[in-house]
Every structure is written in structure tokens, then in C-alpha cells.
Copies of this chain bind each other. A is one copy, B any other.
């Protein structure tokens, strides 16, 4: 009998465990998770903090009990793996002060990512949060709940956020204008907080097109979020508790700070075991997610993946990839070698009443990858001009000028007007290496309640082909 050991019980790990056991019921599948939560939807945390989701349990798609009883997976929560020995094919896990040694035939490292903690003076003060784990979500919800004095919200213990205040009331600071920063701006503003968002560069959502960033920035202003661009945070001053955000432009008093400056892969365990990292700093793998160490796989937020446009290793830690690659590893381990596909760097975000998506290589990213890119943006109506309601869809496409190949796209619209779902067309084009001329000829669905006769994606393709 063969044993498959998984380190880390979130998207990649539990997908791998479930798939492997389903495909090969004779396989022993052991998962070590150091926390108590597994298979949780971290992407939902901002909406939990916002108050739209009532319980952390709602974020869990499958419970530990279900994994154990229904799927026959030996899931050991509260077990932190402290050593991997590829020569002996063992891992050592620590739980409640004692250690267990587990042999494996196949091993998946799915240790995930951790929030980047920038080296800012005062970042350790009370009232400074990140949003990477379920307990971060609990802390933030508690902060919001106390601040609102809302008895309906869970207030299990007197948490760190408000322990020096009778009530919290804002203003609050957010460091970082990426997904987390913007989703948390929505969550906090919806709870009545005055939100100040600090972004180091000259625009927010830097992974999206500049035109998308601009549209979302305008909307944040409409929503009374104070956005500070080119604002390098120098210090988070205060006593024990944070009291302000200080940049070169001055000091903004705040009662709480959320730091959302990206994530880094958790690779310490892998490195110690001699598993190689790639240039991105994440674990390097082949297309089957196998590392340089035979029978040791890595998938999810701790690992690289190949980009569908360039084929090059890239680090895009997002949930779908983790899930998909975990599943592929499970299938491989069960005897059916499966690649699971590359990544296009696709991402979506809701920002108050707007939505945006991006995919592929945009502008300078395409240039750095060796293309001769041209990037153009169009604004088009989201429904037929005569049809009631509707809004604007802004589409940016980046195309390789000589070949006409579509290499990237970025879309933004009012929430519900379809920027995100329409981006599906661009993901396909980017993945298949379609030219912008061919994309402009796609027979996309049309009816007045959904688009103009030419969907905004087609209009963008037509315009850029005309200018190429």
C-alpha cells in the first residue's frame, strides 16, 4: 500500500488529497495542517469582515470531519510539519509538544503564502492587521464589531484591536492598493469607517491596465475613500497602539491599519529539505508540479507555475491555480499523470460598485517578456444604447504588434455589467495565442440586454487591429 502525504490543508492540499483518494481508494492519504481550519475560502475574508457573511464556518466548503469520514482522508489538524527528509522519505510533524514521523511514497508541499510584512517602523503596534488567515479575519471582524457596537457580531474575547479604546470609530488606514487593500476599503467603508488608502506607486491595482486603475481610483474617490498615491509609508507612529500613518507628505491620524502589500511563498520547510526554488522565490516545479526531488510535488501559493503566454516560470498565488494544480497532483499520484495547465495571471476584484478583471501580459509586462506590444483602451456601452440602465465597459488589450497576437487584457465596469465574465473571452484568446483580428471576428453572444451588437471585447479588438 502506498502513502501520499500532504503538508498544508488549504486549496491545493485538500484538492490533491481528495482527488488522489477518489481516484485510488487504496492509497493512504495523510494531511498535516498546523491550524484548525482546512479548505477555507480566504478570498471570502473581506466579506466576512464587511458583515455580509455571518460566520467563518460559512467559508469552509468541506469540514475536517467530512474529509475524515466521507472521504477517508487521514487529516491531522493542529500538526505542524517541522522537517522533511527526502532520503528517508519521511516528514516529522509536531502536535501538542510531541512529534510524529510519517513515511511517504509521494509528498505534496502546499504550505501556501504569508502576507508580506514591510519593514516599516511601528508595524508591530497593536491595531495593525494583515489579512492572510482565518484568525486575521476574526480579529478584523471583532475590531469592526466593537467599533460599531453591534451586538449581532461575534465578540468572543476582548481582542487586540480595541483593547485600549472604549469604542473604535476610525479613521482607518490601509497600506497597499491591491486586491486586499481595495476589498478591505469596501468592507470598512460599508461599516461606516473613514478610510485612508496609501499606495506606494503612482496608481492602484498595478497588475491591471492603467486605464482600469484610473476607473477604479475615480470610483474610490466617489465612495469617499481618501487615496494617497506615491505615498511611501515611513512609519506607523503611536504608543503601544498605532495612532497614525506617516508618509513623506505628512501624518494622517488613524485608529487601525490594514497592511495589504502582497504575499510571499512559504518555502522555509522546502528549502531546508533541499527542494529548489525558482527565480521568483517560490518553489520550482515541472509541468506536473514535481520539484527537483523525485516524488515531491509543490502546488498552490508556495509554488511557481508556467505562464500560458511565455511558458516561463511565474509566481501568481491565486486560489483557482492552487485548486487546479492540487487536483492534478492528486491525479498524478493516483497513477494518471496530469499537468493541470499553466497560469494566465488572471485576477478579478470587486471594488464597491465596480468590477475589474485582468489576464495575461499588459503593456510593460509584455515588453519585458520580449514582445513588441501595443496597448489600447476603449470605452463601450455594456448594453444596447437604447436598452434601459447599463453602463460602461472599459477594455484594454495588449497585442504583439508584429504578429497581432493578443497577450493581455484588462476590463472594468460597474458591478453587474460584466467586465469580469466578459474577460473569459480574453483569457481564451491569450491562452490559445489568438490574433486580435481573429478575436474581432468571434461570434460572441449578442442581445440588447447584454451588449451592443459588437461586445466591448470585440470593439476593442476591432479598434486595435485597425490601428496596428
User: Chain B nearest CB: distance from A347 CB in Å?
Assistant: 7
User: Chain B nearest CB: distance from A303 CB in Å?
Assistant: 15
Tell which of B321, B355, B428 touches A429, judged by Cβ atoms closer than 8 Å.
Answer: B428
Q: CB distance A427 to B444 under 8 Å?
A: yes
CA distance A344 to B441 in the complex (A): 10
Residue on B with the closest CB to A388?
B52
Known: A424-B457, A445-B357. A386 touches B53 (CB 8 A): yes
Known: A422-B424, A450-B420. A445 touches B47 (CB 8 A): no
Which residues from chain B contact A47 at a C-beta distance below 8 Å? 386-388, 448
Q: CB distance B418 to A323 under 8 Å?
A: no
Q: CB distance A384 to B43 under 8 Å?
A: yes
Q: CB distance A445 to B432 under 8 Å?
A: no
User: Chain B nearest CB: distance from A438 CB in Å?
Assistant: 7
Q: CB distance B355 to A449 under 8 Å?
A: yes
Which residues from chain B contact A343 at a C-beta distance below 8 Å? 443
Say whether A59 faces chain B, with CB atoms less than 8 Å apart. Answer: yes
Say whether A453 faces chain B, with CB atoms less than 8 Å apart. Answer: yes
Tell which of B11, B347, B444 touches A424, judged by Cβ atoms closer than 8 Å.
Answer: B444
Chain A residues proximal to chain B, CB less than 8 Å: 11, 41, 43-44, 47, 52-53, 58-59, 61, 179, 308, 318-321, 323-324, 339-350, 355, 357, 359, 384-388, 415-416, 418, 420-425, 427-429, 431-432, 434, 438, 441-450, 453-455, 457
Some 24 contacts from A to B, beta carbons below 8 A apart, are: A41-B453, A43-B384, A44-B384, A44-B387, A47-B387, A61-B385, A318-B446, A320-B446, A323-B454, A339-B441, A344-B442, A350-B450, A355-B450, A359-B443, A359-B445, A420-B445, A424-B445, A424-B455, A424-B457, A425-B428, A427-B443, A428-B428, A431-B443, A432-B434
